[in-house]
Structures are given as structure tokens and as C-alpha cells.
Structure 1
Amino acid sequence: MPVLVDWLTLVLAPVGIVFLVVAFRARRTATNAGESMPGWGTAAQVVGMGCLLIMVLLRLVWGE
């Protein structure tokens, strides 16, 4: 199972970080314009956090 965890870490970490950066930019742009965060920005934030949480849980359960 450690090989699976390593590959999932390599896939999920960059995907999660990219989604969180996109969500951060969406929130910052909306805040500067005096508007609320768009729905797609919230969805990107949820997906990014989900990827990172899955990665952390897999590392905790099966990691070395």
C-alpha cells in the first residue's frame, strides 16, 4: 500500500494546491471589487481542501 500512497500524494498535492490558489485569487478579486466570492471559487476551494485532506489522511493511515 505505500506505493499507492506515494502516487496519490504526487497527484493530489499539486491538484489541491492549484485549486486553492485559484480560489484565493477569486476571493481576492471579488473582495477588491466589493462583491462576494463566486460559486466556482467556492467549489474550487472545496475541491482543493478535499484533495489535501484525502492526501493527509492517506499519509496518516498508510504512510511511513
Structure 2
Amino acid sequence: PGAQDRALANGAMAQTGNIGNTLGTPVLFALASLGGHGVMMATLCALLLAGAAAHWGLHLARRAA
């Protein structure tokens, strides 16, 4: 990839971080308020497992390529 592609990728990563910071706290607060601590923790665990599965799938795709 060229310099422009790397710059665009870095910008996309920065924006993704901004989205997480903007939405993360209000969503977790809403989950805790509406469903309690258990619902919030279950959601966090599900998101963690989904992220781990995505990384594992990408790892397998890179190895196959």
C-alpha cells in the first residue's frame, strides 16, 4: 500500500476510536440503568467474545492467503 492508503487507514482508525469514545459510555450507562449490572456485564462479555472471534477469523484468513 502507498502512503495515501496508509494515511486513509490511519484516519479511519482514529475515527473508529472517536465513535467508541462517543457511544461507549452512554450505551453502557443505559444498559446499567435499564437492565442492571448483570445485563451490562453480559453485553460486555458478548462484545468481547465477538471481537475475539473476529480477530481469530481474520487471523485464519491471513494464514490462508
TM-score grouping bracket, smaller chain normalisation = 0.3 to 0.5
TM-score (norm 2): 0.40
TM-score (norm 1): 0.41
Larger Rg: 2
Q: Which has the higher helix share?
A: 2
Higher relative contact order (CA 8 A, sep 6+): 1
